[in-house]
Structure formats: C-alpha cells, structure tokens
Amino acid sequence: MSRVDVEGVSVSPDHFINNERVSSPTTFEDRSPLDWSWKLADVARGGAREADLALSAALAAFPGWSALTSEQRGHYLHRLADLVDEHVPDIAHVETRDMAMLEESLRLRVISRGARNFRAYADLAREYSPRRWSSNGTENVVLRQPAGPTVVITPWNAPFMLSTWKCAPALAAGNTVILKPAEWSPLSCSLLMDLVEEAGFPPGVFNLVQGLGEEVGAALVNDPRVRRISFTGSPETGRLIGEAAAKNLVPFTAELGGKGPFLVFADADLEAAAEKAAVMYDDAGQVCLAGTRLLVEKSVVEEFTGLFRVAVSRHVLGDSRDPATTLSPLIHPDHLARVRGFVDRARESGDHVVFGGSPTSTSGLWFEPTLIEPRSNDSEVVQHEVFGPVLTLQTFADEDEGVALANSTPYGLSAIIYTSSSERAERVGRRVRAGTIWVNCFLVRDLTAPFGGIGISGIGREGGEYALDFYSDLTTLQIKEGTTHG
C-alpha cells in the first residue's frame, strides 16, 4: 500500500518483514483521538500468513545476528538510537495524532527515551563478561546465549517508548524480533522500521507486523518456533498469552495493569504531594504506573485535599498538539465508554463523586479529571484499574492502616510514598507490595534497575541485566580442572 500523510509526515501502513514493506489483503481503520472523524490510515491487517512470514524471516536471520559479537550488534543499535534522536519531532508528531499523548512531552522526553533504550542495552551487553569460578574440581563458566526469535506485543499507551524498552534488550542479547504494536496506535512503530532500514540492519532481524491481537497477535504467540515472548498490556490478555507460552513451554514476561497507591503521610511536604498527585491525571490517566488511589493520613486530609484541588484546577484540557494543553483526550470511544462505566457504576453504588465524573462534551473524547470517595475499600473503582483520569481518595489513621490499604488490591505494579522521614520511607517501602516504589518523586527511572509487577500486575522482570538474562539462555559450562589449555 502507498504511504499515508499524517499532517505532513509520511508513514507506511504496512508490515515490515525481512526489511521489506508487506501489505495484507485486508486492513483496519486507525482514527485520531484528537478528532474521531479523522481517519489516519487503513493499516495492514495481519493474520496467520503474516505471522508465518515474519517468523520465518526472524528464524532465517537468527544464526547470522546471534553469531555477531555484542560490539557488532551494538554498532547497529547505536546507529538506530542516533536516528531516533534525529527523528524525534516526526515520531512525536505522529504519535500525538495517533494516540493523543501531549506532543511537547513526547518531543522533550518520551521519544528520546526510546533512543536511550537502544544505547543502554547495547552498552550493557558489551560490558558483560561471563561469571567464572572454581568448585568441585571444575571451572564453571556461565554463558549467556541468544535465545532465538522473540515476539514483543505492546499496548496502545506510549507505543514507541514501550516497544523500544522491550525490543532493545532482545536485539542486544542476540535475538531476532517480531514486534506487534496495538491496533489503536500502530503508526509510530512503523516509523521506527524506516529507521531500522536506514540503520542497515540485516533483513529479518527486526520485523513489525500490524493487526488485531486476537488475529495476528494470537498467531504469533502460539507459534512453537518462538523462543521468547515479551508482553505489556492488560492482565486479561496477559493470561491468554501465558496460556500460549505454557503450551509451548516458552519463557515470557508480562508487564500488566496497575492500581498504585499514593500514600501521603502527615509529615510530608503536602504541597509537593498535592502537585504530584495532580500529575496522575496526565495522559488522561492512561498510565499503568500512576498512583490512582490517594491514601492520605486522616489528620492532614483536609489540608491535602484543598491543595490538591488547586493543583488540579491548573490542568488545561485541550488539543494535544497545543503546548498549553496538559490534559489530552482518551484514546478511543470504546475506552471513553469504559471509563464512564466505572464512574457511573461508582455513583450508582453509593460512592461519592467529589469532582468531575463526566465527559467534557458530546463530541470529543475528553473526560473530566475525577475524584471519588468510595463508600468502602471493596468498591469496584478502588479494586479495578480504570486507566482514565479517575482517582479515589481514602484516609488512614496510622502507618499500619496505610500499608494495609496500599496492599489491599490484587495489583502490585507501583506505589508512591510522600513522607519527610527516610526511616519511614524505607520501613513502609519494605512492606508495600509493588515492583517499583517512588518516595517523594514519580517516574524517575534507572534503566539498569529491575522493572515489573507483583500479583496480577505481571510476571518476570525486565530492565538492565534482568532483561538481558530473560532474553538469553543461560548455560553453565563445567570444565574439569587439569583440562589442558590450547
């Protein structure tokens, strides 16, 4: 199919397999959340045929790519990172129109994190030296071997950054990759493939297939030729992918949904806490890591809520292309209906909507920043991820109750703690069940740290060496002492 023009930036709506653009007999519509009447593209709708083509290409490319040294692979990854940096404005431009994240935020921070992902893993893989030690009359050597073709499946929020976060370590470890982005925001990953070609990657090393999860996604994860599956998305899909991985005994990681607690202790800098809590509405609350359950020590709840209201009132709902906007629309009418359903059911069941609670107009996909005081901790809106601009507010009397509330959902992706005491931070941090806990900050990330979820928020860890281990087959070589050199 010919390329489409997204307000001045040209994007291919096709797959990218074996370094070639491949179309499909059928397509799916991709519309802009900024204006739902705006069709961005008819995107190639992959199925079993495209999954097979991509896997065959990845399998054929694997011996060559895995035989390269980490330095040689690093050369390609660094070249790709440089190209991403050069193309930040175009990628941000397309992603804003495709999924409505704020263009300025994408341009200044999010897309360049994609470049950092490629560089960081290229360098980490290069630095690796096998662990060696002597025991039981043998020399032990741990080898990190490339695992094989890897399927990466990503969600619609932050599609570019989240895809590079997984593809970079897989490629650096010597695996070949098939990326399937989400059907609601497929375009920025297509731009990445233009850069893969420009960077001179060998054919078949890094492939992209477009399409629906239950079609091409399912075909990919069920194929026994796949050696690793890395998934980010909802717990429901995570379970389906886990079943496919189990059937073929393929290692998989799943980074899933969140319902993070945002704990505010009476000793905290309340103004800073309230400012940060208002940030939880950014990207219309479509952030897995957000602290969506505000848990505030009872003695300061009034003061905190007053400051929070002021901070929230500074948000500006608008077009994500406009630098003045801080609150973007939701991704899709179906998602708006889902968010609205949560709030309507909360209201009907006796939860108190403190502010917000409705779409802002009948035509657009904006939803008001919403705060709900639940009638009980069992309320649906407390126990389920909404993935929209909806926070809940609860109080606690002391540290024990705060920790108990923090741990009272099946999720465990992230938590945020505001306190001025480092002792309390560490004490509470050790008791809260979450893969990542931020104290007096949010979204600060060191790429070498482990990342993942507890409970229904995920299985496995990526990040730094943890990711490189996951994408590798670790082999122990034991050489009997006295085996002659040479």
Binding residues for ligand NAD (CB under 6 A): 153-157, 162, 180, 182-183, 212-214, 217-218, 221, 232-234, 237, 240-241, 255-258, 288, 385, 387, 413, 453, 458
Tokens of 470: 């996951």
For the bound state, the minimum distance from the C-beta of residue 90 to ligand NAD, rounded and expressed in Å, comes to 22
Q: Which of 208, 263, 260 is nearest to 15 (CA)?
A: 208
Q: Which of 420, 464, 354 is nearest to 123 (CA)?
A: 464
Among candidate residues 50, 167, 183, 288, the one labeled active-site is 288
For the bound state, the minimum distance from the C-beta of residue 22 to ligand NAD, rounded and expressed in Å, comes to 18
Please identify, using beta-carbon distances, which residue of 356 and 463 lies nearer to ligand NAD: 463
Are 213 and 183 in contact, with CB atoms under 8 Å apart?
A: yes
Amino acid symbol at 359: P
- Nearest 5°: CA angle at 416, between 414 and 420? 150
- Orientation of helix 187-198 relative to helix 70-86, angle to 10°: 120
Q: Could you tell me the strand order of the sheet in which 472-480 lies?
A: 132-135, 138-146, 472-480
Please identify, using beta-carbon distances, which residue of 304 and 442 lies nearer to ligand NAD: 442
Give the integer Cα–Cα distance in Å for 235 and 334: 18
Please identify, using beta-carbon distances, which residue of 300 and 339 lies nearer to ligand NAD: 339
Give the integer Cα–Cα distance in Å for 181 and 387: 18
Residue nearest to ligand NAD (CB): 213
3-state secondary structure string across 380-427: HHHHCCCCCCEEEEEEECCHHHHHHHHCCCCCCCEEEEECCCHHHHHH
Asked about 255 being catalytic, the answer comes back as yes
For the bound state, the minimum distance from the C-beta of residue 249 to ligand NAD, rounded and expressed in Å, comes to 18
Q: Which of 257, 248, 311 is nearest to 285 (CA)?
A: 257
Please identify, using beta-carbon distances, which residue of 70 and 117 lies nearer to ligand NAD: 117
For the bound state, the minimum distance from the C-beta of residue 479 to ligand NAD, rounded and expressed in Å, comes to 40
Q: Is 230 helix (H, G, I), strand (E, B) or coil?
A: strand
Q: Which DSSP letter does residue 485 get? A: P
Give the integer Cα–Cα distance in Å for 156 and 164: 13
Amino acid symbol at 23: S
For the bound state, the minimum distance from the C-beta of residue 317 to ligand NAD, rounded and expressed in Å, comes to 22
Give the integer Cα–Cα distance in Å for 368 and 382: 18
For the bound state, the minimum distance from the C-beta of residue 237 to ligand NAD, rounded and expressed in Å, comes to 3
Give the integer Cα–Cα distance in Å for 146 and 140: 19
Q: Which of 485, 460, 2, 9 is nearest to 254 (CA)?
A: 460
Give the integer Cα–Cα distance in Å for 369 and 284: 8
For the bound state, the minimum distance from the C-beta of residue 331 to ligand NAD, rounded and expressed in Å, comes to 8
For the bound state, the minimum distance from the C-beta of residue 183 to ligand NAD, rounded and expressed in Å, comes to 5
Are 222 and 249 in contact, with CB atoms under 8 Å apart?
A: no
Give the integer Cα–Cα distance in Å for 160 and 95: 8
Give the integer Cα–Cα distance in Å for 87 and 322: 20
Give the integer Cα–Cα distance in Å for 82 and 88: 10
Please identify, using beta-carbon distances, which residue of 53 and 179 lies nearer to ligand NAD: 179
Per the rule left: phi > 0, alpha: psi between -120 and 50, beta: everything else, 206 is beta
Please identify, using beta-carbon distances, which residue of 74 and 217 lies nearer to ligand NAD: 217
Tokens of 265: 């202790």
For the bound state, the minimum distance from the C-beta of residue 301 to ligand NAD, rounded and expressed in Å, comes to 27
Please identify, using beta-carbon distances, which residue of 13 and 217 lies nearer to ligand NAD: 217
Among candidate residues 50, 183, 255, 297, the one labeled active-site is 255
Please identify, using beta-carbon distances, which residue of 93 and 180 lies nearer to ligand NAD: 180
Asked about 441 being catalytic, the answer comes back as no
Give the integer Cα–Cα distance in Å for 270 and 253: 37
Please identify, using beta-carbon distances, which residue of 172 and 221 lies nearer to ligand NAD: 221
Active site residues: 255, 288
